[in-house]
Every structure is written in structure tokens, then in C-alpha cells.
Amino acid sequence: MKGQLDVETPEEYLAQADEARRPDLIALDALIRETCPDFEPHIRAGLLGYGTYTYLCNGKPKEWCKIGLASNKQYISLYFCVSDEKGYLAEQYREALPKANIGKSCVRFKRLEQLDLNVLKEMLRKASTMDFSI
């Protein structure tokens, strides 16, 4: 998976991320930590993750991050690995983030300035109350 770095700490991830994207990643990291103070930052599968939830995989409990941050070759990916009865959180905000490329649980963009920070804060707050239920 792109965006994965061979690091052990969030600080190492930010330090080793692409130099051109590093300021945006640092700003996003600060925004996530401020908006979701109960989400412990960690490295999960080479990505910068925040918060955790447990799911079953082949009958065994596994942990994954609720929010993930990655610097990919062409863009920054912000993963919202949460859902509710309305569906995946990222998809619920497709119209509110018209300059981003939105997948089921991923918001992809080239520069942080392409996103409405108020919408992003709303998504982060909502993610802090959700789990993955689909």
C-alpha cells in the first residue's frame, strides 16, 4: 500500500514523509490531535493512525485505526474507517468536499488548502463517536 513508511512512531512518520507534503501532514496531525484528544496516535501497517476499534477477521479480533493519514506519491490520503446506518463517513461528505477525491472511506487531496477545515473538523468530531458497522 502506498503511503506506508517503515517507522515505529508518529514522529518518525512525519519526519520521513515527503518534504513537499510534510507541512500539510504536520498541520493535519495537529488538527486531529486537537479535535480528537482521546485518539492515541500510533503507527498501524505503516500509516499514521489515530484511535482504534476492534473487528472480527476470520473469527479473530483485530484492531484498526478509526482515522488514518498517509502521504502517497500523488496525494495525501485521510482515511475515515468508521460508518453508521447512513454508510461510510467519507462518502457522507462527498458534496461538502468538492475538491477532494472521495472513496468509501478515503479523502484524497493534493494540498490541505483544498479542504474546508470546518467540514474536516466536523468529520473528525463525528468519527470520534462512530465505529465501523458496515
Residue 31 lies in a domain: yes
Rounded distance between C-alpha atoms, residue 114 and residue 100, angstroms: 7
* Residue at 4 is within a domain: no
Please report whether residue 106 resides in a domain. yes
pTM for the model: 0.90
pLDDT of residue 2: 52
| Residue 67's CATH number | 3.90.1150.200
Residue 133 lies in a domain: no
Number of domain units in the chain:
1
pLDDT digits (tens, 9 = 90+) for 38-79: 999 999 888 999 999 888 889 999 888 999 999 988 999 999
- 45 found inside a domain: yes
Beta bridge partners of residue 87, listed in sequence order: 84
- Domain assignment of residue 98, given as a range: 10-127
Strand 106-109 versus strand 101-102 pairing type: antiparallel
Q: Is residue 103 part of a domain?
A: yes
pLDDT at 3 over 70: no
Decide if 99 is inside a domain: yes
